[in-house]
Amino acid sequence: MKLRVLCASVVIAMTASAMASEVKLPNVKIFATGGTISGGSASKTDTTKYQDGQFNVDALINALPDIKTIANVTGEQVVNVSSEDVDSPTLLKLSAAINRSLEDPNIQGAVVTHGTDTLEETAFFLDLTVNSQKPVVVTGSMRPATAISADGPMNLMEAVSLAGNKNSMNRGVLVAMNDRIGSAAFTTKTNSTTPDTFKATEQGYLGTFIGVDPKFYYPPVKPTGQPHFSIDKVTSLPRVDIIYSYQDFDDVLIKASIRNGAKGIVMDGTGNGDVPKRAMKTLEAAMKKGIPVIFASRTGSGYVTSPKSSEGIGSGYYNAQKSRILLMLSLANGDDLNKIKTYFEK
């Protein structure tokens, strides 16, 4: 009799403690946009010719029952496309949806699943526009869900764990890929096909994962001087083109860009943002007409200074694709050239 009472109270205690630990799990919302993490192929070794966007957010969550041990997850399908097809309206929609969801005191963090090709652009856009100290983590995969050693499931587990962790707060938007934690401002895709592709050559990683537990190298910190833009009243973003420079580069593409309505240009220049003299002349004329030009570097890393003898703005720490995101947002915000300069020259 006594043993039975004891057993019953042990069961009650265990159930209560299991319930308590269930209650403690963070609530994380997953915003799915497509990409390889939702891609599939008939061949288990196909890592390049698969189809993106084969699985929706529910399929991603259901394929990963273990996720329930680290967070209570819910999903929202924003779009289901390859990330080269993510456009400005999608960015505005995604950022607004995340802002809305993080206002909910019951949500501890957000995860975005995304194609890796332009993941860094979306991550940086969110970094500049999400209005919350709660974690926002962007992840994806290099191998489709159907491949041997698919990296998507572990990347998603790690991203959800990171988004539900209090230590991830106040660090800006984070990129979680291949057991590494990177900052949205600096992390870039460096290899076209391998899983160890996301890096920040100069600034490095913010941390790593042991199992699914995030281990940060430093306390919370954000990139120096990074602005925040409210997109509450923004319904569209202005056209900003990126133009690549090379030997023999002339002004034909610059003129075409302006003719087609570019409100700003990012030159992916050589070295410290250089372009040939002839092209520079046309860019000078464009700047005089009020079209800001950001000079980035095709080298892939380093700080780019502003050209001495022009109104041009060096991209600072940002590569061309991140410079484009920052310039689009500052133009949408109505900032003048001097203000825009401060964003890049911090």
Q: Cβ(143)–Cβ(36) under 8 Å? A: yes
Q: How buried is 46 (Cβ within 10 angstroms: 0-12 exposed, 13-18 middle, 19+ buried)?
A: middle
Site for ligand GLU in 189-248 (CB under 6 A): none
For Cα atoms 85, 230, 26, give the angle at the middle one, nearest 5 degrees.
75
| The two structure tokens encoding residue 231 | 């997109």
Q: Cβ(75)–Cβ(107) under 8 Å? A: no
Q: Which of 30, 31, 35, 137 binds ligand GLU (CB under 6 A)?
A: 35
| Active-site annotation, residues | 36
| CA–CA distance, 217 with 132 (Å, rounded to integer) | 22
Site for ligand GLU in 47-106 (CB under 6 A): 52, 82-84
Count of H helices and E strands in the chain?
Answer: 9, 14
| CA–CA distance, 283 with 293 (Å, rounded to integer) | 7
For ligand GLU, which is the closer residue by CB, 115 or 164? 115
For ligand GLU, which is the closer residue by CB, 171 or 189? 189
For ligand GLU, which is the closer residue by CB, 322 or 341? 322
Least Å from the CB of residue 29 to ligand GLU: 21
The one segment of 14-22, 112-120, 152-160, 333-341 that binds ligand GLU by CB under 6 A: 112-120
Q: What are phi and psi of 123, to 5 degrees?
A: -60, -45
| The two structure tokens encoding residue 187 | 């992390």
Q: Cβ(144)–Cβ(47) under 8 Å? A: yes
Q: Which amino acid is at 95?
A: S
Least Å from the CB of residue 50 to ligand GLU: 8
Least Å from the CB of residue 53 to ligand GLU: 8
36 binds ligand GLU (CB under 6 A): yes
For ligand GLU, which is the closer residue by CB, 35 or 164? 35
| CA–CA distance, 287 with 38 (Å, rounded to integer) | 42
The one segment of 59-67, 109-117, 222-230, 272-280 that binds ligand GLU by CB under 6 A: 109-117
Under rule CB under 6 A, how many of the chain's residues touch ligand GLU?
11
Least Å from the CB of residue 31 to ligand GLU: 15
Q: How far is CA 6 from CA 3, 15, 18, 19, in A?
A: 5, 14, 18, 20
Least Å from the CB of residue 121 to ligand GLU: 10
For ligand GLU, which is the closer residue by CB, 35 or 269? 35
For ligand GLU, which is the closer residue by CB, 75 or 115? 115
For ligand GLU, which is the closer residue by CB, 17 or 43? 43
Least Å from the CB of residue 130 to ligand GLU: 21
* Residue nearest to ligand GLU as judged by C-beta position: 115
139 binds ligand GLU (CB under 6 A): no
Sign of the four-CA dihedral 180, 181, 186, 192: positive
115 binds ligand GLU (CB under 6 A): yes
Q: Cβ(111)–Cβ(31) under 8 Å? A: yes
140 binds ligand GLU (CB under 6 A): yes
| CA–CA distance, 156 with 139 (Å, rounded to integer) | 7
Closest CA to 314 of 333, 340, 290, 279: 340
| CA–CA distance, 158 with 153 (Å, rounded to integer) | 9
Q: Which of 67, 142, 231, 294 binds ligand GLU (CB under 6 A)?
A: 142
The one segment of 63-71, 111-119, 276-284, 307-315 that binds ligand GLU by CB under 6 A: 111-119
Please report, as ranges, the residues that interact with ligand GLU according to CB under 6 A: 35-36, 52, 82-84, 115-117, 140, 142
